[in-house]
A and B are shown apart, each in its own frame.
Chain A
Amino acid sequence: MFLSNLVQKAQQLIDPSTLPGPLANLTSNPTGRPSKAQLFRQQFRLPDSQNPLHEITAELTLPTSPQSAKNAAGQTRNWDKSNWDAAPRERGTHYVGQLHLSEGFLCFSTVNTSFVGNASAAASSAFTGRTHGTGPAGNGFTLPLCAVRRVERLHTQSYMFALSISTWNGYDSAGGSGGGGQEDASGKVKAPTPPKLTVQLEGSRQQCERFCDGLKKGLRQGIREVEGMRQVTSDCYSEYFLRYDFEDLPKPPSSSDGRPAGDGEGTEGEKGPSDTGLGSIFKYPGNSRKLRDRSKMRLWHEYLRENGRNCTLVRQPDFHRLIRVGLPNLLRGEMWELTSGSFYLRLQQPKLYQQILAKHAGEGSLAIEEIEKDLNRSLPEYAGFQSEEGIGRLRRVLTAYSWLNADVGYCQAMNIVVAALLIYLSEPQAFYLLSILCDRLLPGYYSQTMYGTLLDQRVFESLVEKTMPILWDHLVRNDVQLSVVSLPWFLSLYINSMPLIFAFRVLDVFFLEGPKVLFQIGLAILRINGEALLDATDDGSFISVLKSYFARLGASAHPRSENPKHRAITHFQALMVVAFKEFEGITQHTISEQRAKHKGPVLENIESFAKRTSIRNLGPEAKKLSPTDLAFLYDRFYAVLYARQQRQQVLQAAELEARRRQRQDVKAGSGAAEGVTPEMGRVAMGAGEKTAMDYDAFREFLAGVARWAVTDSPSSPVKEEGRAGGKGGGNGYFNAFPGRAGGTGRRMSVWGSGPEPAEHDFLQRLFARWDCEGTGEVSLQNVVYGLAPIKGGRDIMASIAYFFELYDDDKDGRVDREGILRMSEALLFLSRRGVESGAGAAASGPVVGADGEIKSRDELFLGAVSAFIRRCFEYADPDSGEREREGQVEEGVDLLDLNDEDEKAGAEQVDEPDHPLATPPPSTSNAKDDGMLARPSHHTFGQTSTAPKHAAANAALDPSSPVHITLPTFRMLVLADETLESFFDSGFANSFHLADAPLPSSTITSPSFLGLAPPAAHPPISASPTQAASPALSPGDAGGPHIPAISPGGAGAGVVGPGRGLRGMLDNIVTDGMRVAAEVRRRMDDAQKELDRSASVRGTEDDEEGEDGDETVGDLLDGADADAGGAGKPGLSEGRVGGPPLSPPPADGGKGGTEKSTMFER
């Protein structure tokens, strides 16, 4: 007992299928194989909310009804025969199988689970051999727990542990209508009580107990749903049907004679039959006499009486046979609902259809436009679709589904399928059935890329190749493409290919046995027409052979036979025989295997098609970039979207699971949540609505192509809290991971395995610029158009202008003081990991400064920026009075503060030891009022009156004279400085690493699936010139190994120490009297401290971090938090501005520690 417990635990550990729904889906799918939970749901056609909780071997005993005993006397019921041999048993039919319990269902099936060694095993499997579908093919039942009225435990000698289950059906089935006594004279009788189900559990006592405990619990919960169930079942024709003896049944308006129906209202003021589709108004297709509809009805009447109806139906072999011969018109819809499982979906959310329609009433969409176009060409030959009634139903069902599943929306062919369904089903019923079709039976068929369709065509072809090699060779030789012929068969479920009455017969079996039926029928069609097809040598003749065959389906297959019985066999019957006898071996398993086998190539083809198309669609501006760069951007773009969606999935699933754990939420899932697989978001699977990056995705994207976009202070496991309030611009900057629970055990980086992106004013500006339509998202085209001027033109003037425009907020050709400072900041931000000037030999190698001291490239850059700021203010033009006074004052205040702060920078440094120069606070940034530059002013607000000391030295700094620079000035200033000139000439462009010089693979998230060769081993840009230069100069210098060192170095590389490069700049900067200086100084001091330390401890990066710890680890973590928060919510800043803990760590320079360690490694 203890042991079995252990074993079970162990199994749970290895078997993902025991995980609840969403998780099981995720964990089991890497192989592409369905999980056990999925198989379970498939077998019993249960909604996604159901999971196999308990399972036990059991024997089901059904009493032999008096009626059937009576009637069966003459009939051969050979599948029952064996039972009679089983000696001391109770009389009745016995089935051995597996009894399953899920949250809301008790299911029993003999399929897959029957075992030998018992007398009744043969009976159990007698029929299952034929089907091998996914559906409820075996004998058994799928019983909603709410339909169970009573469960008794039987104590008999022979039954160790037996349950007797009685159901609600038959009790009060008139729904309390009271009127019209149910046993009165008019032939109406109370619907019969279905047989009690007797189930004998076969397992250890403990197993049985456990099962029963679970059952009890489920039953208690089921009580709540009884009312809903009654309402749902009242829509079932069977409820009406069984109220009468068959012979007394009021004549259904149109079923037997095809008389056009009246309005179907009940005659004697009582509830008439429920809506059985357009057919009840417009006549069902086909001649019902020929279809022998009435005899079928009689058989069903009998079957349902004995075996329960709708909810409580028990499947015995006759059930399958009755379906194989074709369902009668009035029961067709109900049986489709039951066998496909859409009934259980309806049971779960009975009002969903109406709710969706109500919710979206009056709204328009692309899908609706497309639906509208097709309404008049959906089975136009059927009278119902020549009327507003039929068209209206079709419109509403298609529209409701397009809202339910926006990813699919509307796909041509759905109109035909739904039109067909509506002949037999009410609107809501058709809606749920469509949902089951799209989500489960025909996965991916109608998706944006229709990958399911293409995949199944490939599978079909491979089956043809396997089963009919000669025909296959013929097709290949004649270059006839099978799938162009067979695609419509699958896509419209033969509805558009065969005469309707036959297509419906295919559907009857299809809903019961699953998708494999489509393949079996298709193969049989080809087999039967094999000879004729071998004569066909082109598409045209191939198609006409099949066309004429379909037209003959109703005719005798053996017209000249002597034997009248043979003559009576139609082509269609012959087709069914070939399909299910000859191709019996085509099981759902075969299909799954073939799908798994062909999936990869098919998806890749779709993706490469999508990629070609998408790149071509980019428009003329894209031509500035090379095709390889475009391909690279495409891959990178979708890799980011894909990876993010994946992560979100996992996180959501985990959260769902967490919630489920918290409160055993039985009804969590819904039909709509079904397509949850790890492949979601993959381009070929129809990435759905996600074709643009929000701000966070954009950052992630940039972090993969530009080093400066990688953060200096990666947050460890992310907590994302306090994302309140929107950003000023209202852009969708913060929709990264809705619903992610913070800090609950499972830790998963929001950024996946890639480097964590930085947050900076510059990124926001770049994003805003690329998002030229102002949608808050950037499309691939936006990205390409954003990058094209930078990478494509290679024109220094254009590049300078581009940068300038980023800061010219009001597009008046001028950048004000604030802008100038932000520009400088951005330049430092961009250069903090070195500048990659592709062409220049010196690249980022060391340069001998005027004073003979060796300065790194970055020190030079810092100097250049500093000089730039100085000159900006020197050459700035005074504002020409257009500006309001207030504005000036405000700016003045800023400046005062600045200077003031400069003054007391030394003092403040104690309070505020961080504020990295080149890394503005990641989270607190905000387009308008963020960043470190802004912050000091807040800080010192209120003590502004101190006279600015440095202001005197530079008129531009005088608060009373606001300034701006124009593009020409800016250009001049840039060109005046060699370093900046080179930056704009090539450095900036080169900092975006596209196809020719990708960043190391580690920085790219999940590149593989898009056929992206990971640019591994590719040397980072400018490595070659550097390497050429640096060893000669000074082997151990910052130059050579510097690139690898500053490259983000992969996932979550440690915190990069403060930039040593800043040190050399101290002198220059401090004297400048700009507010940057204050910051720089603080940073310098930190750097100095750090330097001092690391001078003594020249160890690994880790050491350094450890050292840092004393002062900054706390801050660091806070910074990380802030960073994480910022990821979602830049608008956060106001609330926290000035709070020291929020300040980012003294990271930066990028080169610091990392550089050192790698240097030594080399």
Chain B
Amino acid sequence: MADSSQPSAPKPSSSVKLVLLGEAAVGKSSLVLRFVNNDFQPNKEPTIGAAFLTQKCQLPTRTIKFEIWDTAGQERFASLAPMYYRNAQSALVVYDVTKASSLVKAKHWVAELQRQASPGIVIALVGNKLDLCEDDAEGGDEGEGEGQGEEAGEEAGEGKGEGDDGKVRKVSAKDAKSYADDEHLLFFETSAKTGHNVNDVFTAIANKIPEASLKGPRGGATAGGGTQAAISAGQDSSRVNLNARQGAEGGPKEGCAC
């Protein structure tokens, strides 16, 4: 593929459109900021509709360039969401592990994507703010987790201690994981604050993007329905897989150096 579309690039490179969805304040923008700038800070950027960012993700045999649409937080912007997920190849559906309702909302987004977005879309379910469930030293601002000293420093992602992370955790990893498994979603618990698991999410997505839907830097895909369909999301949802060039040989298990 290197010879086909990106003569200058050492490795074949593909663009992957990724959209972030989820209830307001679950930490979507923070996750992106962590991924793109390896930074965590209050969001100073006013987001109108959605913020656009890019970040490359180096896999051993190719480069994935994520084009990230971080959708706006306010509930009413939800009706704009179809515009952003319409031709996305991947989605990060984020909830806040300390807020049960946010998982409910996340499930709605998953259902919406499964029904309306491109059929091959890779969805990762992400429970963010994991740091609030752990009593690691750096999270000085939360008191409730203090009791579980013995778990400090452990890797927290894998469903340990669900239900007993003090009062803070409201969504058990087990529940979310089993839901994710049922729906064939990638699943991670992250902390944008500590950076825990953040890159892993994107790497896993990069690896899971079907070769068939990689189309180089998004050139030459078939003509979609144009923007006519833009607002009416999902009307031509098979487009992404059509005519997509066969990707490089890279296996799906590659690591990501992003």
A: residues with CB less than 8 A from B are: 370, 373-374, 376-378, 380, 411-413, 415-416, 447-451, 453-454, 457-458, 461, 465, 472, 475-479, 481-484, 487-488, 491-492, 496, 537-540, 543, 601-602, 605-606, 609-610, 612-613, 616-617, 619, 686
B153: chain A residues at CB < 8 Å are none
Bound CA–CA A619/B231 (angstroms):
27
Answer whether A457 and B231 are a contact pair too, CB < 8 Å, given A479-B239, A539-B17: yes
| Chain A nearest CB, measured from B228 CB (Å) | 8
**Beta-carbon contact of A537 and B218 below 8 Å:** yes
Greatest chain B CB density within 10 A among A416, A538, A601 is at A538
**Beta-carbon contact of B219 and A601 below 8 Å:** no
Contact of B230 among A461, A477, A609 (CB under 8 A): A461
**Beta-carbon contact of A479 and B224 below 8 Å:** yes
Answer whether A538 and B67 are a contact pair too, CB < 8 Å, given A370-B74, A378-B46, A449-B79: yes
B214 is an interface residue with CB less than 8 A from chain A: no
B212: chain A residues at CB < 8 Å are none
B230: chain A residues at CB < 8 Å are 457, 461, 481-483
- Flag the segment in B48-56, B138-146, B174-182, B245-253 that touches A: B48-56
8 A-B pairs with CB atoms under 8 Å apart are A376-B44, A377-B45, A454-B83, A457-B227, A483-B227, A484-B84, A488-B48, A609-B82
**Beta-carbon contact of B232 and A487 below 8 Å:** no
| Chain A nearest CB, measured from B148 CB (Å) | 31
B63: chain A residues at CB < 8 Å are none
**Beta-carbon contact of B80 and A450 below 8 Å:** yes
A413: chain B residues at CB < 8 Å are 46, 48
4 closest Cβ pairs, A-B complex: A488-B48, A476-B226, A538-B218, A537-B219
**Beta-carbon contact of B17 and A491 below 8 Å:** no
B8: chain A residues at CB < 8 Å are none
B52: chain A residues at CB < 8 Å are 484, 539-540, 543
**Beta-carbon contact of B54 and A540 below 8 Å:** yes
B82: chain A residues at CB < 8 Å are 605, 609
**Beta-carbon contact of A616 and B49 below 8 Å:** no
**Beta-carbon contact of B15 and A540 below 8 Å:** yes
**Beta-carbon contact of B15 and A475 below 8 Å:** no
**Beta-carbon contact of B73 and A412 below 8 Å:** yes
**Beta-carbon contact of A484 and B44 below 8 Å:** no
Give the contacts of B58-92 with A (CB-CB under 8 A).
65, 67, 69, 72-74, 76-80, 82-84, 86-87
CB-CB nearest in chain B for A537: B219
**Beta-carbon contact of B46 and A453 below 8 Å:** no
**Beta-carbon contact of A479 and B232 below 8 Å:** no
| Chain A nearest CB, measured from B37 CB (Å) | 16
**Beta-carbon contact of B49 and A487 below 8 Å:** yes
Contact of A449 among B54, B76, B84, B228 (CB under 8 A): B76
B69: chain A residues at CB < 8 Å are 484, 539
**Beta-carbon contact of B79 and A538 below 8 Å:** no
B6 is an interface residue with CB less than 8 A from chain A: no
Bound CA–CA A900/B30 (angstroms):
77
CB-CB nearest in chain A for B73: A412
B112: chain A residues at CB < 8 Å are 612-613, 616
| Chain B nearest CB, measured from A201 CB (Å) | 49
Answer whether A476 and B76 are a contact pair too, CB < 8 Å, given A377-B43, A461-B230, A483-B231: no
Answer whether A454 and B80 are a contact pair too, CB < 8 Å, given A483-B230, A602-B231, A616-B112: yes
List 4 additional contacts besides A411-B74, A415-B46, A616-B108; criterion CB under 8 Å: A373-B73, A457-B231, A488-B49, A496-B48
Contact of A484 among B54, B74, B83, B239 (CB under 8 A): B83
**Beta-carbon contact of B74 and A412 below 8 Å:** yes
| Chain B nearest CB, measured from A417 CB (Å) | 10
**Beta-carbon contact of A453 and B74 below 8 Å:** no
**Beta-carbon contact of A483 and B87 below 8 Å:** no
**Beta-carbon contact of A601 and B232 below 8 Å:** yes
| Chain B nearest CB, measured from A36 CB (Å) | 31
CB-CB nearest in chain A for B110: A616
Contact mask for chain B residues 5-45; partner A; CB cutoff 8 A; 1 contact, 0 none = 00000000001010000000100000000000000001111
| Chain B nearest CB, measured from A913 CB (Å) | 57
Bound CA–CA A539/B65 (angstroms):
12
CB-CB nearest in chain B for A412: B74
**Beta-carbon contact of B221 and A479 below 8 Å:** yes
Answer whether A610 and B79 are a contact pair too, CB < 8 Å, given A377-B43, A491-B48, A538-B67: yes
**Beta-carbon contact of A612 and B219 below 8 Å:** no
B17: chain A residues at CB < 8 Å are 539
Contact of A537 among B44, B48, B86, B217 (CB under 8 A): B217
Answer whether A411 and B76 are a contact pair too, CB < 8 Å, given A377-B45, A481-B83: yes
Greatest chain B CB density within 10 A among A458, A476, A601 is at A476
CB-CB nearest in chain A for B54: A540
**Beta-carbon contact of A477 and B232 below 8 Å:** no
**Beta-carbon contact of B239 and A475 below 8 Å:** no
| Chain A nearest CB, measured from B158 CB (Å) | 27
CB-CB nearest in chain A for B49: A487
**Beta-carbon contact of B224 and A476 below 8 Å:** yes
A457: chain B residues at CB < 8 Å are 83, 227, 230-231
B238 is an interface residue with CB less than 8 A from chain A: no
Bound CA–CA A380/B87 (angstroms):
33
Bound CA–CA A737/B68 (angstroms):
49
CB-CB nearest in chain B for A612: B112
**Beta-carbon contact of A487 and B224 below 8 Å:** no
B47: chain A residues at CB < 8 Å are 412
| Chain B nearest CB, measured from A378 CB (Å) | 6
Contact mask for chain B residues 208-223; partner A; CB cutoff 8 A; 1 contact, 0 none = 0000000001111101
Answer whether A482 and B227 are a contact pair too, CB < 8 Å, given A454-B80, A539-B67, A606-B79: yes
Greatest chain B CB density within 10 A among A479, A602, A617 is at A479
CB-CB nearest in chain A for B107: A616
| Chain B nearest CB, measured from A675 CB (Å) | 16
**Beta-carbon contact of A481 and B46 below 8 Å:** no
B111 is an interface residue with CB less than 8 A from chain A: yes
**Beta-carbon contact of B83 and A487 below 8 Å:** yes
Bound CA–CA A543/B50 (angstroms):
13
B167 is an interface residue with CB less than 8 A from chain A: no
**Beta-carbon contact of A461 and B76 below 8 Å:** no
**Beta-carbon contact of A481 and B87 below 8 Å:** yes
Answer whether A491 and B49 are a contact pair too, CB < 8 Å, given A481-B86, A606-B79, A613-B108: yes
**Beta-carbon contact of B83 and A416 below 8 Å:** no
